[in-house]
Amino acid sequence: MNKPLAPHIRTEARTGHMMLDILLAALPLGVFSYVNYGLRPVILLLISMGTAILCEALCCLVGHRPLRTVMDGSAAVTGLLIGLLMSPMVDYWVPMLGAAFAIIVVKAPFGGFGRNVFNPAAAGIAVLTFCFPRRMFSYPAISTVSTLPLSMTVEAGEAVVEQSLAAQLRAGATPSLSKLQLLLGDFAGPIGATAALILGAFIVYLLFRRSVSPWTVIPYFVTCAVIAWLFPLTGMGRLYSAMAQLCAGYVLFTGVFFLNDPVTTPRFWLGRLFYGFFTAILVMLLQRIGRAEAGSCFAILIMNALSPIIDRWSWHVWHWLMRLRHFRKEVKAHG
Amino acid sequence: MAKSQKMRRQFWQTAHLFVENAVSNNIVLIQALGLCPIIAAGTSLKNGVTLTACTAVVLIPLSFFIASVGSKLPKWLRPAIYVLLAAALLLAAGYVLGTYISPELYAKLYLFIPLMATNLLYTRSVGLSTVINPVGTVVDALGSTVGFGMVICAISALREMAISDTLWDVPLGYTIALPEAAVPFTAFILLGFMSALLQWCRHRVSAYFHRKEVEEA
């Protein structure tokens, strides 16, 4: 059994360190949500990760793969990403369902880590968005006084439900948040997708660690910011609107986590550039016209399907250009 | 003696034809036909059984007709005649369903019955060119119907249990209901997994026989 466990990467040690980097991000985000909402979001994260790992182990047993593939951390990361996009007051079974779907339906049938066509976490979130939009998008208001109860379901009286930033932008309402609040993530939203400063620091850390490629991340954020700056959704100035649109929904989170999935992104640098660029356009489009409040996961899934084509075509385009240059040099040299 | 041997051979041939159409070359899971009614209307067991009955009503007489009379008709006329006959059978089936059995069910399914029949019809008229004797054709049609019925009943039963905790409108008594299971993609996913399971079984069975052959030789 000398099958490569992750065919997209040559050395096995590398996958482990990438996954560890991403798991590291959970710590500050977990602490952040613990401070805001109490223990409930932390339990949600743990449940989601645990389900993903269990399902992965199950799939390994069914598919006669060695159980040690569970330890590469990819299943834990999938569970973690699903947990981070939950509303803090969601029922405990919702992330379980999402994680189980991601592993059993989206990841394992394609052959496990390294062979999956779609990002499992994005697919899990897409299914949950599609099936339980009301549960997914009702966020509790941040209050430092009371914490969320730990019971299975948060009853109507136990938390103040607040309209999320994405919903406010879609409705054309003017958000009442200051720029500082936007940066600090001091507004209602998913467990791990509001803290803009933490996510920003984390992407810088990943770039320095070379766990992610700047060819996807920079085009994505630049395009998102430019689109938001050109077509503001609020009437409070272009800069504020750009900030609010980047912080709303899953836009930042997509750029930090989903976009940098090593398996489903193109390998060639020009392909990565196109991938980031088109994902940003789709994400910003879905923010305005999509049916769901936060549709970034759909944008990622669409781009995942196109990613091999983008990779190949960009490679051909680049080499055609290089040949052209070479040819012109030859013509110049020999007349 | 010779006669009984011949009959036995014929029996096994017919059985083989039936099993092949119902299971190993399943019309839905392997040939990917009749997906539309399963995905759109396969949300309760009653729907599934009704659609299966309608398929049987259309498919079996039509197959018999094609096998016995079809070759005598001029080629250019055949498709028109087949479609007309299928439409007539469907109208009759729909009328019986709507007036005598259950008007509500007919109101729910009237769109899907013709859709499904035309969907199945095209394969039959193509596939039947190989089977010439009428009995074989009827067995073939019966096998296809059973195959279609098994898949649609399994999927619609599963989805009904998930949607409303009932099976054939009888409450099952647990409390989790997921009305979201009525969306089309659940049927797609279920079909995908059932198809994978069937292919796995086929692979195992053929591997078993291959091993036996090698051992004998």
What would the DSSP string read from start to end of A54-118?
HHHHHHHHHTT--GGGGGGSHHHHHHHHHHHTS-TTS-THHHHHHHHHIIIIIIGGGTSTTT-SS
**Interchain pair B180, A132: CB under 8 A:** yes
What chain B residue is nearest to A133 in terms of C-alpha separation? B180
**Interchain pair B180, A131: CB under 8 A:** yes
Q: Quick one: pLDDT at residue A1?
A: 39
CA distance A254 to chain B (A): 24
Please name the residue ranges forming H helices in chain A: 12-37, 40-62, 74-84, 93-101, 120-131, 133-136, 165-171, 179-184, 196-209, 214-230, 238-247, 251-256, 269-289, 296-334
CA distance A301 to chain B (A): 15
Q: Quick one: pLDDT at residue B8?
A: 86
CA distance A318 to chain B (A): 38
Residue B128 scores a pLDDT above 50 = yes
Sole residue written with tokens 């770039």? A207
Q: How far is CA A304 from CA A143, B1, B89, in A?
A: 38, 66, 46
Average pLDDT score over residue span B38-58:
85
Sole residue written with tokens 């074989």? B136
Most confident range (mean pLDDT) of A143-157, A226-240, A275-289, B59-73 is: A275-289
Q: Quick one: pLDDT at residue A261?
A: 84
CA distance B184 to chain A (A): 11
Rg value, chain B, Cα = 20
Residue A10 scores a pLDDT above 50 = no
Average pLDDT score over residue span A198-211:
88
Condensed to tens digits (0 to 9), the pLDDT of residues A129-167 reads 888 888 888 888 876 556 777 777 777 667 778 778 888
Q: How far is CA A227 from CA A222, A233, A245, in A?
A: 9, 11, 10
Per the CB < 8 A criterion, the answer to whether A162 and A189 are in contact is no
Which residues in chain B have their CB less than 8 angstroms from residue A127's CB?
185
**Region of A268 on the Ramachandran plot (φ > 0 left; ψ -120 to 50 alpha; else beta):** beta
CA distance B201 to chain A (A): 14
What chain B residue is nearest to A106 in terms of C-alpha separation? B189
Average pLDDT score over residue span A14-30:
79
Range of weakest confidence among A224-228, A236-240, A319-323: A236-240
Average pLDDT score over residue span B42-59:
85
Sole residue written with tokens 């009702």? A138
**Higher model confidence: residue B174 or residue A221?**
A221
**Higher model confidence: residue A219 or residue B8?**
A219
Q: How far is CA A283 from CA A53, A194, A203, A223, A297, in A?
A: 29, 16, 18, 10, 8
**A13 Cβ partners below 8 Å, 6+ apart?**
none
Q: Quick one: pLDDT at residue A124?
A: 93
Q: What is the value of pTM for the model shown?
A: 0.81
Per the CB < 8 A criterion, the answer to whether A107 and A121 are in contact is no
Q: Does residue A62 sit at the B interface (CB-CB below 8 Å)?
A: no
Q: Quick one: pLDDT at residue A184?
A: 85
**Interchain pair A131, B183: CB under 8 A:** yes
Tokens of A30: 């977990």
Which residues in chain B have their CB less than 8 angstroms from residue A105's CB?
189
Residue B87 scores a pLDDT above 60 = yes
Which residues in chain B have their CB less than 8 angstroms from residue A130's CB?
180, 183, 185
Domain residue ranges of chain B, discontinuous segments joined by +: 29-166+174-216
Q: Which of B180, B185, B196 faces A109 most closely, judged by CB atoms?
A: B196
Most confident range (mean pLDDT) of A134-138, A179-183, B2-6, B198-202 is: B198-202
Tokens of A289: 């016209």
Q: If you count residue pairs, one on A and one on B, with CB atoms under 8 Å apart, how many are there?
A: 11
Q: Quick one: pLDDT at residue B141?
A: 82
What chain B residue is nearest to A108 in terms of C-alpha separation? B193
Rg value, chain A, Cα = 21
Euclidean distance between CA atoms B144 and B120, whole angstroms:
9
**Interchain pair B178, A131: CB under 8 A:** yes
Euclidean distance between CA atoms A290 and A296, whole angstroms:
10
**Interchain pair B180, A130: CB under 8 A:** yes
What chain A residue is nearest to B190 in terms of C-alpha separation? A105
Condensed to tens digits (0 to 9), the pLDDT of residues A255-274 reads 988 888 888 889 889 999 99
Q: Quick one: pLDDT at residue A144?
A: 56
Which residues in chain A have their CB less than 8 angstroms from residue B180's CB?
130-132
What chain B residue is nearest to A97 in terms of C-alpha separation? B178
Domains of chain A: 12-334 (1.10.3430)
**Interchain pair B189, A105: CB under 8 A:** yes
CA angle A55, A58, A59 (to 5 degrees): 90
Tokens of A298: 């759909």
Exposed, middle or buried: residue A296 (CB in 10 Å: 0-12, 13-18, 19+)?
buried
CA distance B25 to chain A (A): 22
Three-state DSSP class for B166?
strand
Of the candidates A270, A259, A253, A264, which has an alpha carbon nearest to the alpha carbon of residue A306? A264
Q: Does residue A132 sit at the B interface (CB-CB below 8 Å)?
A: yes
CA distance A255 to chain B (A): 27
Euclidean distance between CA atoms A254 and B142, whole angstroms:
52
CA dihedral B194, B198, B199, B204 (to 10 degrees): 140
**Higher model confidence: residue A277 or residue A7?**
A277
**Higher model confidence: residue A298 or residue B73?**
A298
Per the CB < 8 A criterion, the answer to whether A87 and A137 are in contact is yes
Which residues in chain B have their CB less than 8 angstroms from residue A131's CB?
178, 180, 183
Q: Quick one: pLDDT at residue A6?
A: 54
Residue A13 scores a pLDDT above 80 = no
Long-range contacts of A144-147 (CB under 8 A, 24+ apart): A144/A36, A147/A37, A147/A38, A147/A39, A147/A40
Which residues in chain A have their CB less than 8 angstroms from residue B185's CB?
127, 130
Q: Does residue A130 sit at the B interface (CB-CB below 8 Å)?
A: yes
**B55 Cβ partners below 8 Å, 6+ apart?**
B34, B116, B117, B120, B145, B148, B149
Condensed to tens digits (0 to 9), the pLDDT of residues A23-38 reads 887 789 889 888 888 8
Of the candidates A104, A74, A80, which has an alpha carbon nearest to the alpha carbon of residue A264? A74
Three-state DSSP class for A154?
coil
Which residues in chain A have their CB less than 8 angstroms from residue B192's CB?
109
Q: Are strands B170-171 and B166-167 parallel, antiparallel or unpaired?
A: antiparallel
Q: Quick one: pLDDT at residue A139?
A: 86
Euclidean distance between CA atoms A252 and A121, whole angstroms:
16
CA distance A296 to chain B (A): 19
CA angle B171, B175, B177 (to 5 degrees): 85
Condensed to tens digits (0 to 9), the pLDDT of residues A43-98 reads 999 999 999 999 999 998 888 888 877 877 888 999 999 999 998 888 899 999 99
Task: Provide the sign of the torsion angle of the four alpha carbons A123, A125, A129, A135, taken in this order.
Answer: positive
CA angle A180, A185, A190 (to 5 degrees): 160
Which residues in chain B have their CB less than 8 angstroms from residue A109's CB?
192, 196
Q: Quick one: pLDDT at residue A213?
A: 87
pLDDT band of A3, cuts 50, 70, 90: very low
ipTM over 0.85: no
Which residues in chain A have their CB less than 8 angstroms from residue B189's CB?
105
Condensed to tens digits (0 to 9), the pLDDT of residues A269-326 reads 999 999 999 999 999 999 888 777 778 899 999 999 999 999 999 999 999 999 999 9
**Interchain pair B183, A130: CB under 8 A:** yes
* Total Cβ atoms within 10 A of residue A299: 26
**Region of A294 on the Ramachandran plot (φ > 0 left; ψ -120 to 50 alpha; else beta):** beta
Tokens of A279: 């994902």
Substitution target in B163, B185, B188 with the highest count of A β-carbons within 10 Å is B185
Residues of B with CB under 8 A from a CB of A: 178, 180, 183, 185, 189, 192, 196
Euclidean distance between CA atoms B141 and A73, whole angstroms:
51
DSSP A11-31: -HHHHHHHHHHHHHHHHHHHH
Q: Quick one: pLDDT at residue B129?
A: 53
